[in-house]
Amino acid sequence: MSLRVMELDDVPTAVRLHRANLPSGFFVELGDRFLARYYRTFLTSPAAVALVAEVDGRPAGFLVGSTDEAVHRRHVMHFSRWDLARAGVTSLLVRPGLTVRFMRTRARRYLRGMRRTGAAAARAEQGRSGALSHIAVDAAVRRGGVGAALVTGFTGIARVHGVEWLHLYTGRGNEAAQRFYRRLGWEPQPVQYDIDGEPWVPFLLRL
């Protein structure tokens, strides 16, 4: 197994693994085109980290995150927001039910350029903070150390960049993921609820 930086040709693989392993969530409902554009932002942002794990020379997992959330957010808003907006609107136009939910729960927040922060992120802001945004591993190679290697690679990069805190969210019912992060030294925080009312368990890691 080896790790390398994600490239543009890896985006379809990231989309496929995201859909297979992280099937719930608003981004997935917006479709593959939106997901692809979302993952491209991690290839251009100066504060983003995008890694691919290979097993026997074939992509087997990926991780994306940031070493400075504020810088990454500004980059996305400045360079990619219209591209993401076009992809999102195109998807919403053919999904009336999703459009209604978007207008009810997200439209105002997105128009203001805001993002979810939450109590865990607020705590991390006591020092320079980064975020592990998404990680997915092919089911065929799970329990082989791929996920741990991706997370360890990411935390190593974050340390080099002077990051003091990292945070992430897992679904409250995803006990396997919670055990995984605990084993790697991450600390669970009180449950939070997103704008759809879904519960999430934040995790913090002090570097």
**pLDDT the model gives residue 145:** 95
Domain that holds residue 179: 2-206
Q: How confident is the model at residue 195 (pLDDT cuts 50, 70, 90)?
A: confident
* Collapsed DSSP state (helix, strand, coil) of residue 13: helix
Mean predicted lDDT score pLDDT of the chain: 84
Which pLDDT tens digit goes with each residue over 58-75?
999 999 999 998 899 898
Whichever domain contains 120, its CATH number is: 3.40.630.30
Tell me whether strands 165-171 and 129-137 are parallel, antiparallel or unpaired: parallel
Is 24 or 144 the better-scoring residue by pLDDT? Answer: 144
pLDDT of 197 > 90? The answer is no
Residue positions counted in the chain: 207
21 burial class (0-12, 13-18, 19+ CB within 10 angstroms)? middle
Number of domains into which the chain is organized? 1
Q: Can you tell me which residue has the tokens 């089911």?
A: 139
Stretch 89-101: mean pLDDT: 59
Stretch 152-169: mean pLDDT: 96
Among 30-39, 60-69, 107-116, 161-170, name the one with the lowest average pLDDT. Answer: 107-116
Stretch 29-42: mean pLDDT: 89
